[in-house]
Amino acid sequence: MRSSPFRLSLSAVLLALGVAGAQGQTQRVIPDSQAQVQLSFAPVVRQTAGSVVNVYASRSERRQNAAMEEYFRRFFGDNAPGVPRGRSQSSLGSGVIVDPSGLVITNNHVIENMNEVKVALADRREFAADILLRDPRTDIAVLKLKDATNLQAVELGDSEALQVGDLVLAIGNPFGVGQTVTQGIVSALARTQVGISDYQFFIQTDAAINPGNSGGALIDMNGRVVGINTAIYSRSGGSIGIGFAVPSSMVRVVLNSAKGGAKNVVRPWLGARLQPVDGDIASGLGLERPTGVLVTSVYDKGPAAEAGLKRGDAILMVDGQPVDNPDSFGYRFTLKGTQGQAPLTVLRSGKQTTIPVRLMPPPENPPREPVRGKARTPFAGATLVNMSPAVADELQIEIADDGIVVADLEDRSVAASVGFEKGDQIVAINGERVTSTKDADRLINRNGGYWEITVNRGGRVFTTVLGR
């Protein structure tokens, strides 16, 4: 329990800024005196800053094999000219302790491709960290500090309660200079045309966010994390007052997946393809303005088909929350989880109706049955798997009833050098249709050096000829 003077000071700040109200209702008012304007954010900073950490990630790659490197070291020492050395990469960012057990939220891009992570606390203690979960689609990662005790955790707030104009603080480690606090307001909500991640639905703020702030906390005036600072819009590399944060509602989805022991975030599957509603479509639907998403196709074995959704339906809301494009639909639908039902408000033939859709993860049917590309073939370094709703969702490609897809691709591999990309669907090999990884394995093994490979890449089908 904190001391009375602290509680009184914090209450004074919150009341002056209009964030406390009668009967639990938030009241936002303009300061009406010079004294109110001069009140400090220091109590909120004291409450939260100890939970914001620095994240140092690195990756080392050796150029030579271990035996050769040991040979050079034995005769010439570590620093002698000509000794083979590894290549190293490093990155610096911020993070937030969200659980006293040592769980830390940061951005995936801070630790992407890194194999060693260290975390420095505000009190200068340092700990190694394990990566529990990476989620590139939200650009969120969850770390677990090793052997850490006496940690100050901060509570995740409700980003759904934010309003444009609310005061917020950004805490992080910009440019590696040390922990820094900046103040601003919520400039916009539900930003979806940012191009940062698959699930684009960001809080925009003018609180200064600079390189190194990534993964840091966006704090409301109740001292709770309402967002994880992720990116800025800038032509110079520095803050110009346009920063973006992942809402805490989505962060909570990723965190709960990590707490449950999952290695990936499992999202609900609709089983339908959607497109934005533009002005012409809105006019044809009888809408006053462009809003919602249009169903362009329905997978015949998915929840959408089961619920009765049809091509040409316009989905206007998810559980009473309006959606304006596929990104906002994906965000709202993901927050519903993978159990129970989600009520969708649908416009069909000029009439609105509510259709409950069953929430479920995308099925992995058929099983993946991965096949690794053989040496001396164009597929060397590629992993091929059977197509399924789960694979299509994971790779963000349109589902097909059968076939195989490139699920993984090693850097600098033969498959990468000949032009294959992750998500490519292999349609045929030497004129024979490929419907499963068993077909692919058979066709690859019997080939004599001539390759005619037909690929579907994002709906564009082309044939590549390799070999003699």
Helix (H, G, I), strand (E, B) or coil at 429: strand
Length of the chain: 468
Determine if residue 156 is left, alpha or beta; phi over 0 gives left, psi from -120 to 50 gives alpha, anything else beta: beta
With both helix axes pointing from N to C terminus, report the angle between 326-334 and 248-259 in degrees, rounded to the nearest 10.
50
Query: Where do we find the tokens 């083979």?
Result: 84
Query: Where do we find the tokens 């290549």?
Result: 87
Q: What is the dihedral of CA 41, 43, 48, 49, to 10 degrees?
A: 70
Any long-range contacts for 25-34 (C-beta under 8 Å, 24+ apart)? 26/161, 28/163, 28/165, 28/166
Task: Please answer whether residues 341 and 412 qualify as being in contact, where contact means their C-beta atoms are separated by less than 8 angstroms.
Answer: no
Among 139, 166, 206, 439, the active-site one is: 139
As a whole number of angstroms, the distance between CA 143 and CA 95 comes to 9
Task: Please answer whether residues 400 and 299 qualify as being in contact, where contact means their C-beta atoms are separated by less than 8 angstroms.
Answer: no
DSSP 287-333: -SS--SEEEEEE-TTSHHHHHT--TT-EEEEETTEE--SHHHHHHHH
Task: Please answer whether residues 329 and 361 qualify as being in contact, where contact means their C-beta atoms are separated by less than 8 angstroms.
Answer: no
Q: Which residues contact 340 (CB under 8 A, 6 or more apart)?
A: 359
The yes-or-no answer on residue 214 being catalytic is yes
Task: Please answer whether residues 111 and 129 qualify as being in contact, where contact means their C-beta atoms are separated by less than 8 angstroms.
Answer: no
Among 214, 248, 328, 388, the active-site one is: 214
Among 91, 94, 99, 109, the active-site one is: 109
As a whole number of angstroms, the distance between CA 162 and CA 204 comes to 11
As a whole number of angstroms, the distance between CA 121 and CA 349 comes to 58
As a whole number of angstroms, the distance between CA 185 and CA 166 comes to 5
Which residues participate in catalysis according to the annotation? Answer: 109, 139, 214
